[in-house]
Amino acid sequence: MKRVAILGTGLVGPLLAILLARRGYEVDVYERRPDPRKTSMHRGRSINLALSDRGILALERAGAAERIHRIATPMKGRMLHRSDGTLAFQPYGREDQWINAVSRAGLNAALLDLCEEQEGVTLLFEHRFIGTALEDGRVRIERRHPLAVLTRDADLIFGADGASSALRSEMQRLGRCTCSHEVLDHGYKELTIPPGRGGTPLLERSALHIWPRGTFMLIALPNLDGSFTCTLFLPHEGERSFARMAAPGEARRLFEDQFPDALALMPMFDEEAAEHPVGPLSTIRCEPWTDGARFCLVGDAAHTIVPFLGQGLNAGFEDCTVLDSLIDMHGGDWSRILPAYEEARKENVDAIADLALENFIEMRDKVADPAFLLRKKIEARLSALFPDRFVPKYTMVTFSHMPYKEALLRGRRQDRALDRILAIPGIEAAWQHPALIPTLQEIVEETLAPSDRTAGCPSSAAVDRRGRRISTGNGPPSSRRSPADS
C-alpha cells in the first residue's frame, strides 16, 4: 500500500500527510476550497486555538514543532475581568506550564508550507470529493479549473475534512456510519482588539482573558502582532442573545453594559459586530470511523467538540500521533492499524467531548465565584501535598498524555474528594493550616481509587516521539517550551 488520499487541508489533514509521507507513502490531499494562504475567506469566523502538550507531541513527530513555536504565544493562565472592573489571575498550572495561543490561519499556512516542502505530498485545491467506491478505494473528485470529474486510485482514504465531512456523509449514505449531532443553544462571534502604538499589546499578553457573565462570556487570546482575537459566546435567543444583537444599537449597548473595558479597546467594534458571522457550537459523535481496511475518519470529521477546554486541535493532532505509532506497532498492516486506532481513540474523544461541555459551564458561570476560587486553591494545595495521588483535572487534560477517559474518571473522583473537604466547617479559614493535613490525606485516600496512585500522567499512545513503546506512568506532567522561551 503506497497511495493515500486525504480529504481536507484544514489542520489535521496536512499534519497526517506529512507523517505518512515521511514513511514513504504517496499522499494526495484534496480540498474543495481555494488555497487559504491566497484568500481571506476565514476572516471573522476562526476561533484562535490553544496548542498544548498533546498537539505539540504530534508536531514534534512530524518535525514541525520548531516552526509552529515561532507563531505561538505562551499563555500562563486566565485573566478574569470581573463585572466590577477588577482583575484576577488564575495560573493554569506550575510556573513552567502554559498553553500556546496560535491563530488558525497562521497554523494552517505553516502546515501547508511544510506539506509543500515534504517529498511525497501533493496539495490539490479546488478539488471537491463527490464520492467513492469504498470497496476498491477509488475516489471521484470534481476539479473546478478546468471543470472536470476525475477518478483517482487510492489504497487508503482519510476524511480529515472537518465537522461537515464529505467522507462521513458518504459513509452515512452507504449505511457504514451512524452519527449524533448535539447543537448548543449558544453560538460565537469573533471580534478584534488591535495593538496599540508600535504594536504594544493593550492587554496582558501572557494570559487568556475572560469576561464571565453567567450565561454568556467574552474571551480574548493574544496574537504575535500585539492584537487579541476576541470571541463572544452568547445564546442564540433571549434577552441577551445574538438575535437581540441584530437590532440596531443593541450590540454596542450589550458591550457598554457588560464589557465596557473591552469595548474601549475595539475601534472596529460596530463594523465587526454587524458583519462577522455567528458560528455554531456543536458536538458530533459517530461510529464506526473506519471499515477496518480502506477508509478512516480523523479529527473533527470523527469527533467534533466544543472549544471550551482548548482540546479540539490537540485531540485531532493526537489522532495523528496514535496512527503514526500504530504503523510501527503493526508493521504497516492497515487492516490491523485502523481498528486499533478507533479502539484506542473512541472512548477517549467521547470523554473529552464531555469534559469540554462541563468546562463551558465552569468558564462562563463559576470562574469568578469566590466559592469556586476557594475550590481551585484547595485543589492546588492537594496537588502540592500529594502529587502522586492528586493531579488537577486541567493538568491531566492539558499538560499530560493521560488518556482523556482516565482524566475524566479520575477527575470526577477528585471532585468528590473536594466536595467532602469543602463541607468541613470553617474550611474557608483553615484550608492552609498544617493541622488539617491528616484530614485532607484521609479524604483523598478514601475517595480516590488505588489506580490513581501514579508517578505522573501516563502517555495515551504509550509510545515515545520515535514511535517506540514505553511504559505508562512515565514521569510528571510536563510543559513544552518554545525554543525561544527556553
Q: Dump pLDDT digits (tens) for 418-442.
A: 999 999 999 999 999 999 999 999 9
pLDDT tens figures, 148-191: 999 999 999 999 999 999 999 999 998 999 999 999 999 999 99
pLDDT above 70: residue 135: no
The pLDDT value given to residue 362: 77
CA 212 remoteness from chain centre: 20
Average pLDDT (17-28) is: 97
DSSP β-ladder status, 138-143 and 127-133: antiparallel
Q: What is d(CA 219, CA 239) in angstroms, rounded to the nearest whole number?
A: 20
pLDDT at 238: 95
Q: Which of 331-340, 398-407, 447-456 has the lowest mean pLDDT?
A: 447-456
Helix 404-422 crosses helix 437-447 at what angle (to 10 degrees)? 140
pLDDT higher than 90, residue 236: yes
**pLDDT over threshold 60, residue 91:** yes
CATH 3.20.20.70 for the 3-70+104-180+283-359 domain, yes or no? no
Distance of CA 131 to the CA centre of its chain: 29
Cell 491531566 belongs to which residue? 396
26-72 pLDDT per residue, tens: 999 999 999 999 986 555 456 789 999 999 999 999 999 999 999 99
In percent, the amount of the chain with pLDDT more than 70 equals 90
Weakest mean pLDDT among 155-159, 356-360, 361-365, 457-461: 457-461
Classified as helix, coil or strand, 97 is coil
Measure the CA–CA gap between 336 and 328, rounded to whole angstroms: 11
Domain ranges of the chain: 3-70+104-180+283-359, 182-280, 369-452
Cα 66 from Cα 70, distance rounded (Å): 7
pLDDT of residue 43: 53
Is the pLDDT reported for residue 480 higher than 70?
no
C-beta of residue 431 within 8 angstroms of C-beta of residue 381: yes
User: Is residue 470's pLDDT more than 70?
Assistant: no
Q: Please tell me the predicted confidence (pLDDT) of residue 1.
A: 63
Residue 400 per-residue DSSP state: S
Say yes or no to pLDDT of 82 above 90.
yes
Tell me the pLDDT band of 375, cut-offs 50, 70 and 90.
very high
- What per-residue confidence (pLDDT) applies to 467? 33
Looking at residue 45, its pLDDT comes to: 55
The amino acid sitting at 22 is: R
CA atoms of 19 and 159, how far apart (whole Å):
16
In percent, the amount of the chain with pLDDT more than 90 equals: 80
Tell me: the pLDDT tens digits for 378-399? 999 999 999 989 999 999 999 9
In this prediction, residue 370 carries a pLDDT of 84
Nearest CA to 276 out of 237, 238, 245, 312 is that of: 245
Query: Is the pTM here over 0.95, yes or no?
Result: no
Q: CB of 310 within 8 A of CB of 398?
A: yes
Helices in 22-155 by DSSP H: which ranges? 53-61, 65-69, 104-117
203-234 pLDDT, tens digit per residue, is 999 999 999 998 899 999 999 999 999 999 99
CA pair distance 447, 449, nearest whole angstrom: 7
pLDDT, mean over the chain: 89
